[in-house]
Amino acid sequence: MNETMVTLVGNAATAVEFRETATGGMARFRFAVTPRRRDRETQLWTDGPTSFYTVWAWRALAANLAGSVAIGEPLVVHGRLKVREEERDGGRRTFVDVEAVAVGHDLSRGTAAFRRVARVEPA
Amino acid sequence: MNETMVTLVGNAATAVEFRETATGGMARFRFAVTPRRRDRETQLWTDGPTSFYTVWAWRALAANLAGSVAIGEPLVVHGRLKVREEERDGGRRTFVDVEAVAVGHDLSRGTAAFRRVARVEPA
Amino acid sequence: MNETMVTLVGNAATAVEFRETATGGMARFRFAVTPRRRDRETQLWTDGPTSFYTVWAWRALAANLAGSVAIGEPLVVHGRLKVREEERDGGRRTFVDVEAVAVGHDLSRGTAAFRRVARVEPA
Amino acid sequence: MNETMVTLVGNAATAVEFRETATGGMARFRFAVTPRRRDRETQLWTDGPTSFYTVWAWRALAANLAGSVAIGEPLVVHGRLKVREEERDGGRRTFVDVEAVAVGHDLSRGTAAFRRVARVEPA
């Protein structure tokens, strides 16, 4: 209840970092979203400032991200948004995380050959 | 202003139908979303009823969908939701459309090899 | 899993219909969403076609909607989107429902005096 | 294009701060979102960690927020999500902003008396 779902359209800003854990695979990468707007006067498209997120994934999605996504590739990321604040090195740091539910290469930017992997239901 | 953005996680229920038009390519397919819930008593996952949508795409996204997506494949679809009512054969029919902004194969269900296509800015 | 969350910004197209049921109150009303776009040539705002939804609510939200919302009032509706097809009178009918999670009067269109009601957790 | 829309369901964590600017009113407040989950073993609801956002509004929405929302009140906030990083006091700080499009009191938590204000179209 009250979870914040979000969909990001942008690009992988780092490679996917993958790790095996006791409860299965975990993947993590930075993600960049740059909105584009049409200038009202010139009618030209211009880039707005980029927002960065850390995307987290587990299990099958983590493994498939590690095997499919390279730095710079355009993606659609759908997941739960969380903002964490932590004390670090004597200062307060803010982290913006998305726990991914579904991720795909953005087909408005290229083509993809998909291969299904046998599905295991989350326990 | 007031556009309804939606993100669907589901499967292509038909093949992608592609057509050239005066203003560029157009693609269309039916899309099925089946939510899954954990039963509170049994703790087992069960399927809820399936919702069907018609997904529409234009230009590069249309061409890339036609070249990348086969019937049955799992996708993430992000776009503008519209509900249309039309008189047809003497009755009132309701159509539920999503104008796709970004679409990708759902990597929680398989792997994908992506190939970037040169980008053309919408005019 | 895979539920489709949606946020609608529009107006109540009917009064709220409220009913007591065995499991608590239930409310229902029709909701109209009319996107507005700026015309690229004239720079004027124009209305796009209106999409209609049926919004459903239960328990406290149902009772508070019945006590707070009049026909025509502007609302933000956040909930689960479902598309149902049913056989009716020998034809196939399509219904577009939103199971509301949170609803509020749109404060971009007016002011509101809020009064908290004691909260009962869903069982 | 590529803007990140988000809907937050939570509570005003500060009072609304309102300021007149050269281009009209501007309002700002902190907003807290605390997801609730049902524990799989105990079947009880528990709070997850709270995420904090800064909500920004302009023009009519800013003025109506200032006149309608008190600290602690439950709201639905719909708007554009932005993550900014800035150098501050020799360190890098991260800010998570939502530019509000529509905001309303959450009627799952109480009742509201709404009063429409004459609408002025954004220029």
ipTM of the complex: 0.94
Closest Cα in chain D, distance from residue C85 (Å):
28
Chain D residues within an 8 Å CB radius of B40: 38, 43
pLDDT score of D87 more than 80: yes
Question: If you measure CA to CA, which chain C residue comes closest to B94?
Answer: C94
Give the pLDDT mean for C60-72.
98
pLDDT score of B1 more than 80: no
Closest Cα in chain D, distance from residue A35 (Å):
5
Q: Which residue has the higher pLDDT, B89 or C57?
A: C57
Chain D residues within an 8 Å CB radius of A34: 2
**Nearest-angstrom CA–CA distance, C77 and C81:** 11
- The dihedral sign for the CA sequence C84, B70, C5, C52: negative
Least-confidence region, from A113-117, D29-33, D69-73, D85-89: D85-89
Give the pLDDT mean for C1-25.
95
- Spatial contact of A53 and A30, defined as CB atoms under 8 Å apart: yes
Encode B77-96: b = buried (16+ Cβ within 10 Å), e = exposed. Answer: bbbbbbbeeeeeeeeeebeb
Least-confidence region, from B88-97, C1-10, C23-32: B88-97
Q: Is C81 on the interface with B (CB under 8 A)?
A: yes
Mind listing the pLDDT tens digit for each residue in A64-117? 999 999 999 999 999 999 999 998 877 889 999 999 999 999 999 999 999 999
pLDDT confidence tier of residue D98, bands split at 50, 70 and 90: very high
**Nearest-angstrom CA–CA distance, C94 and B95:** 8
Q: Is D19 on the interface with A (CB under 8 A)?
A: no
Query: What pLDDT is recorded for position A39?
Result: 80
CA angle D111, D115, D120 (to 5 degrees): 135
Nearest to A50 by CA among D3, D56, D87, B7: D3
Question: If you measure CA to CA, which chain C residue comes closest to A122?
Answer: C1
pLDDT score of C88 more than 70: yes
User: Which two tokens mark D95?
Assistant: 């800010």
- Spatial contact of C46 and C36, defined as CB atoms under 8 Å apart: yes
- Spatial contact of B3 and C51, defined as CB atoms under 8 Å apart: no
DSSP states along C68-85: H--TT-EEEEEEEEEEEE
Closest Cα in chain C, distance from residue A104 (Å):
15
The total of other beta-carbon atoms located within 10 Å of residue B39's CB is: 9
Q: Which of B1, B120, B121 to mutate to test the interface with D (most CBs of D within 10 A)?
A: B1
Mind listing the pLDDT tens digit for each residue in D99-122? 999 999 999 999 999 999 976 555
Please list, in sequence order, all residues whose beta carbon lies within 8 angstroms of the beta carbon of residue A106, skipping any fewer than 6 positions away: A9, A74, A75, A76, B102, B103, B104
- Spatial contact of C62 and D108, defined as CB atoms under 8 Å apart: no
Question: If you measure CA to CA, which chain D residue comes closest to C70?
Answer: D114
pLDDT score of A20 more than 70: yes
> Cα torsion for B55, B58, B63, B66, to the nearest 10°?
20
Query: What pLDDT is recorded for position C55?
Result: 98
Give the pLDDT mean for A56-60.
97
Q: Which residue among C91, C93, C96 sits closest to B96, beta carbon to beta carbon?
A: C96
A neighbours by CB contacts (3+ pairs under 8 Å): B, C, D
State the SS3 of B50-106. Answer: CEEEEEEEEHHHHHHHHHHCCCCCEEEEEEEEEEEEEEECCEEEEEEEEEEEEEEEC
Chain B residues within an 8 Å CB radius of C1: 35-37, 45
Q: How far apart are the first and last CA of chain A?
A: 20
- Spatial contact of A76 and B102, defined as CB atoms under 8 Å apart: yes
**Nearest-angstrom CA–CA distance, D40 and D56:** 37
Q: Which residue among C9, C81, C94 sits closest to B94, beta carbon to beta carbon?
A: C94
Q: Between chain A and chain D, how many beta carbons pairs sit less than 8 Å apart?
A: 73
Query: What pLDDT is recorded for position D122?
Result: 55
pTM of the model: 0.94
